[in-house]
A and B are shown apart, each in its own frame.
Chain A
Amino acid sequence: MSAPSTDRATPTAGPTRPRLGAHTPGPLGGALRGARKVAEALATPLVPADYLDLFDPMRAGADLRGRIVEVRPETADAATVVIRPGRGWLGHVPGQYIRIGIDIDGVRHWRAYSLTHRADGSAAAGIPAGCIAITTKAIPEGKVSRHLVRHAAPGTLVMLDQATGDFTLPAPAPAKVLFLTAGSGITPVMGMLRNHLPELADVAHVHCAPTQQDVIFHRELAGHHEAGRLALSLNLDDVHGVLRLDRLDTLVPDWRERETWLCGPTALLDAAEKHWADAGVPDRLHIERFRPSVVEPGEGGTVTFGGSAVTVDADGSTPILDAGEEAGVIMPSGCRMGICFGCVLPMRSGAVRDLRTGEVTVHESDEPLPIQTCVNAVAGACEIDH
């Protein structure tokens, strides 16, 4: 998502957007730049993109968007969402994730999901050529995951970011690999398998799930196992109990020698970090964390004003605006009662409580979330960009 800009005469896109004629040399470039100037003059106070988006929101040069093509159930509570990305899509490295911005009940929510399609754009595993795919597991009370799995409909336009992340395989691929996954943590690994399995000589894969029915991509994984392309061990909670890491010695006796990629719930990740460190091979372990670090909402807490490098403690009934001013931060403000929006500042992380309604707003992605400082008090902790 591009940051909203006050000066709409300059396009609001990020650095990846090519500006018409910007890199074209010679008279043609001049003509293109001239055309752009005219288009900008015609569109002011909007930008030409605002009009072009009406006709083709997926065009090259637009903010990156995608259209949902299909939502395919994988298990009772997981589904693969196939998306045709806009023409500005730059591709990805298997194991990376994208952020999706989707409107639910009129409100845009951004979440990260690992990519599972083939990086060369060819069709695979039922994903059409040129489409990207994510697989989402609906978690209880999960806003976005439940929406994607249960309600998202083909045809829906979503916002996208380019792929990012360093949970990827090195080139050349290591000789011996261990994939340790649990639940929806299979997704980035499935992205790697669909792209790199032929290059991997020796793959051990330990996957954990509550029951056999909950194993996402079970048929595909079992197929690889039967064909001898990887050695799959399932740890099913209802049969084996929750995975204890000392079981690895039985399942994959040489796990210490393997480059390991791990993705799953926080408890498993933390335990594994310790386990690998204790074994003296912490460098062999590569981890992807799905769980964003969110603040558990509380009463009052510390407010950090990033730009001013000021941190203050405030109680649960003091507006952030007052807390900031008391600490000597020059705060924008107007009505001081929640009606003018003159005090809006971006929250980088944390949680705040609306003093009028008690409603808690938790920062849930790495996108700054604008909040009214005059009617919100800190709930736990929060970081304000100011």
Chain B
Amino acid sequence: MTDIPREEYILKCTSACAGCSDSLTLRYVLKAAGPETVLVVPACCTSVIQGIYPNTAMNIPVYNVAFAAAAACASGMSAAFQAAGRKTNVIVYAGDGGTVDIGIQALSGAFERGTDFLYICYDNEAYGNTGMQRSGATPAGARTTTTPGGKAQTKKDLDAIVAAHNPPYMATACASYPKDLFSKVQKALSIRGPKFIHVLSPCPPGWRYSSEKSVEMGKLAVRSGMWILYEREFGKVTINRPSKAAMIRPVPIEEYLEPQGRFKGISPEALAMLRSVAERNAERLKREEEGIC
């Protein structure tokens, strides 16, 4: 594997919160993509962390667009680059809300049409930009400002929805495993067609843990099996090493939940829901990896 390059495309003057793994993820994504890249960003925390006009913390062109529009906008941009014979990476960098909720129609359209682009959903499991309301990606039991008693529904299975479009490449990642994230972005960009990477992005103010713990939170998510690192290349599933290990010897889910204020006082029902979703995902991926679907 190539080493992660020193070049920085996201500069030191962002307005992200301390310990933000959205910006950490973006840092590795851009290192993998390099300068011949345009980022398409719908309304989300990433619209804010770039800083305020006429300044920008980004060293590549970033096209900010309306909340529901990112994947469709990227379709147009990708087609235009193709028409001009330009090999420029088009990467959508969107939050979970902009992906699983308001943006899902545009996402589905672009994947069905076979747009040549990479769609990255960084998932902090709520609407960060507007102050942490629930999203379709918020897990059961998590308190947000619109689910003050804890969310009653389970997290929407975004990966299954994307997989139903049968893209040539899709993967999950987490910035706590930077080399894994880096190489997945590189691999995705080497393939033509619609690619998808779903990145878990721990968020200190939203999940209510102290800001130095973001990398640890990502690792706990993987080790407890609450987040599974895997790839799906041309239909073939590979569960990545950290998650393989977690499947053999997982840390208890409680170790992941306990430091997070959003799960404080979680009901036994919600805890059972979290557990069953994690188990179901693991079983499904194991079956898929073995080729039994």
A binds B: no
